[in-house]
Amino acid sequence: MGDQFLVVGGDAAGMSAASKAKRDAPETDVIVFERSNWVSFGACGLPYYVKGEIAKLEDLVVMEPRRFVEERGIDLRRNHEVTAVDPDAREVTVETDDGHYRESYDELLLATGGQARLPDVPGVDLDGIFPIRSLEAGRALRNYVAHHEERPARGIGSTSARELRSHLDEADPEVVAVVGANKIGIELAEAFLARDLEVHLFDSGPRVLRSFGADIAEMVEDHLAEGGVELHLDSPVERFRGSDGTITMVETADDRVAVDAVAVDVGVDPEVELAEDASIELGPTGAVATDEYGRTSAPDVFAAGDCAEKRELLTGDPILWPFALAANRAGRAVGRTVAGQPAAVGGVVRTLVMKAFDLQVARSGIVDHDEARAAGFDPVSALITSITRAHYYPGWSRMVVHATADAESGRFLGANMVAEEGTAHRINSVATAVTAGMTVDEVGALDFGYAPPFGPVWDPVLGVSKVLEAKLE
């Protein structure tokens, strides 16, 4: 590898790449530029911080910045924003509070992440509307809805005007809207209810969690409604209205709901401005296009994390998948490659697990028939209701599993599942089967562990495989 490896972005992909490159090639100068003061944090924990289950924002930090410097020998430069990349000159331009300078590179990683997408409707710039992606956005939202439990500290890094709202001292919300019935949106709805707020959940689609299928989604919808969430489905937001610059109402084609705050979860857009300005190729998803090793169209420039495309293993298509494990894995692979041991960044089968009040909801692979046919499969599905423990062991609950296979090859394509317990570890067996290209027969023959407190003799994954097997005969 070269003498100097530069990393733009100090979260999952960036710090994983920097750490692995420095570990495998200690003689290399590894420099990380992070435009904020935060590095290596778990943004997926923000709903639980807003709820109050996590006491301090700093608890979401995975590793203290000083440890990267003192223990790993990484030159970590926080509050340094890379504003331009010049692939021909092999250098970047860096802005700081003291001015700007240029830094040369032998290899460069763009790990610029993604930003929360906002609805393209009037009024989206009003105070009291929170796109949750950064730690500072999470702090601002918690301050807004929790009577200012934790004031913003000084010296915490770059903070946008949208993130630290100007009317915190006057805010005393009673009604909150969530726009986007997705993972973070549903977890935030629970957080708001725990703070005794009235919660309205809006989504443009006919059901929550669209990628989970109708059977699973309906169970989650019923559970949300029972928990106190007012659902507004098939209700795209058309306008946000406000007074004195602050949100007061969410407006759809059929309804107008007075609110005091809005949290938004309608997707993540990859941060690709640096790449675009440097004429680095973007893929069909709008994220940076890379090869199997994370290389971009520019020589010795890599991209990883939420700014880069992922490959869906079942279809082979490039997709956006802004989740932590994929970012960490891709960053680590780039670090190995830069250190002289080429490693593929790998693909995804879109495994996801989440909490919806007392329910655990999980998915992996392809279950939807239209999606399966578009990928060239002939789908056959099975839907079963099982239990999470032996029937005689106290505390069991019902588990619904919906799985799909390919009729021609017998390949197990994926499953969705929901229960009060047990989905978080079971979905990993599904992910393993889908990634390995296993058939339904092979999945049904797996030697799962069994004990009454953890499951029935015929685990729900084995059970749904048996039903699929019968349908394929």
- Which active-site residues does the annotation give? 44
Of the chain, the end-to-end C-alpha distance in Å amounts to: 54
Largest CA distance in the chain: 71
Nearest CA among 361, 329, 387, 367 for reference residue 186: 361
Residue 361's alpha-carbon distances to 22, 352, 356, 383, in angstroms, are: 38, 8, 7, 15
Q: What is the DSSP letter of 120?
A: -
Distance CA 18, CA 12 (A): 10
Residue type, 456: P
Neighbours of 194 (CB within 10 A): 14
Write the burial class of residue 297 (CB in 10 Å: 0-12 exposed, 13-18 middle, 19+ buried). middle
Distance CA 449, CA 422 (A): 14
Cβ(393)–Cβ(452) below 8 Å: yes
CB-based burial, 164-175: b 16+ in 10 Å, e otherwise: ebeeeeebebeb
Place of tokens 């009235």: 198
Write the burial class of residue 254 (CB in 10 Å: 0-12 exposed, 13-18 middle, 19+ buried). exposed
- Tell me the Cα Rg of the chain: 23
Residue 11: helix, strand or coil by DSSP?
coil
